[in-house]
Amino acid sequence: SISIGVLTSGGDAQGMNAAVRAVVRSALNLGVAVHAIFEGYQGMVDGGDRIRSLSWDDVGSILHRGGTIIGTARCPVFREREGRLAAARNLLRHGIDRLVVIGGDGSLTGANLFRQEWASLVAELVERGDIDELTAQRHSALMITGLVGSIDNDMVGTDMTIGADSALHRIVEAIDAITSTAASHQRTFVVEVMGRHCGYLALMSAIAGGADYVLIPESPPSENWEQEMCDLLRNGRAAGRRDSIVVVAEGACDNAGGPISSDRVRQVLQDRLGEDTRVTILGHVQRGGTPSAFDRCMSTLVGHAAVQELLSATPTSEPQMVGMRYNRVRQAPLMQCVEQTHAVARKIAEHDYAKAMELRGSSFTE
């Protein structure tokens, strides 16, 4: 009999619960047992009651909740072979050799490494007398399917990641709130949003929130951006605009690759416009709260598709990541997506923005 394990790992994101619920119920619907692994890879390494089989009702009333009810963690020992050996032993105790991993590029890289090492881990467990030959034969391969949980929307191969839409909603609500107080006092606000290598949240929230200026990592402003920004804001004021909002992604950089911090923007505005300027760093507010309708729907669809993909996987098939392309659920080779995501970050660091955007837009599905 087949048993699937599901875990959430790395940074939490709204919609993870909807994905877990969809994985559990899709599996049960197909007569497949499913175990939750609590606290990410840490629960896999620790075993015991951190690996529990789930019933239909166990995932009731979680669809609308933010975060992840099965917990997430960073787990340094999983980076070591010894940790992964313990994890393999604990999975085999429950007959689990198929995993749905919901996490960011780090978690998915770890899952792939685990998969590649699996045969040798199993052999070592037999040698140690931890498992018998029959168990080893039955579970000679580990199969994995990835779902991307990340509010940054920073993964190549999917148009949206789980949590990005909810985070965008949260930011737009915050910008709306700030706009009303800014307008009352005719103040200027600098709003810093998450996104180290990806300006999605900053760009989309600037459009949806009607901001005056936006700074993102992928498209550094022209050399004299400080003057340009100040002129824009000054003209806005002259035209009767009462509020001025500048959105800054945390990874924003200037033409020379130097970081543009929200405080630097504030200082420029204060010095050149002589206006009372405040910084609001939204921080973890962006991760919190209820998932948007879109995140609930998308997570449900990709969770369901992940189970189907995992059940059709074979020991030799390439692991897949399930996401969205052109508004359709699509799968793509997991490691190609992760590697290309890293390549995008490298190109941004090298200021080769055109290449970065070309790589980000590439698709492995057509």
Which residues form the catalytic set?
Answer: 152
Site for ligand ADP in 180-199 (CB under 6 A): none
Question: Between residue 30 and residue 49, which ones bind ligand ADP under the rule CB under 6 A?
Answer: 41
266 CB-near residues (< 8 Å, 6+ apart)? 190, 277, 278, 279
Biggest alpha carbon–alpha carbon distance for the chain: 79
Among positive and negative, which fits the CA dihedral 93, 96, 102, 106?
A: positive
In angstroms, what is the minimal distance from the CB of 295 to ligand ADP? 16
**Per-residue mark of binding to ligand ADP, 133-172 (x: CB under 6 A):** ----------------------------------------
Which 1-30 positions form the footprint of ligand ADP (CB under 6 A)? 9-11
Question: How near is the Cβ of 79 to ligand ADP at its closest, in Å?
Answer: 4
Q: Site size for ligand ADP, by CB under 6 A?
A: 16
If you ran DSSP here, which 8-state letter would residue 60 be given? T
Cβ neighbours of residue 330 closer than 8 Å, sequence gap 6 or more: 158, 322, 323, 324, 365
Least Å distance between CB 193 and ligand ADP?
17
Which tokens sit at 334?
């997991």
Helix (H, G, I), strand (E, B) or coil at 195: coil
The nearest distance, CB 77 to ligand ADP, in angstroms, is 8
- For residues 116 and 91, give the distance between their C-alpha atoms in angstroms, rounded to a whole number: 16
- Nearer of residues 74 and 237 to ligand ADP, judged by Cβ: 74
Q: How far apart are CA 60 and CA 48, in angstroms?
A: 23
DSSP-assigned beta bridge partners for residue 278: 189
User: In terms of CB distance, is 111 or 172 closer to ligand ADP?
Assistant: 111
Select from 351, 366, 170 the least CA-distant residue to 178. 170
Q: Do 17 and 69 touch, CB atoms closer than 8 A?
A: yes
| Smallest distance, ligand ADP to C-beta of residue 109, A | 5
Residue 214 vs 338, nearer CB to ligand ADP? 338
Look up residue 364 and give its DSSP letter. Answer: S
Q: Which is nearer to ligand ADP, 179 or 341 (CB)?
A: 341
Report 60-119 residues binding ligand ADP (CB under 6 A).
74-75, 78-79, 103-107, 109-110, 113
The residue nearest ligand ADP at its CB is: 106
Closer residue to ligand ADP in complex, CB, 107/290:
107
Q: Residue 291, CB half-sphere, CA atoms under 13 Å: how many?
A: 30
| Contacts to ligand ADP by CB under 6 A | 9-11, 41, 74-75, 78-79, 103-107, 109-110, 113
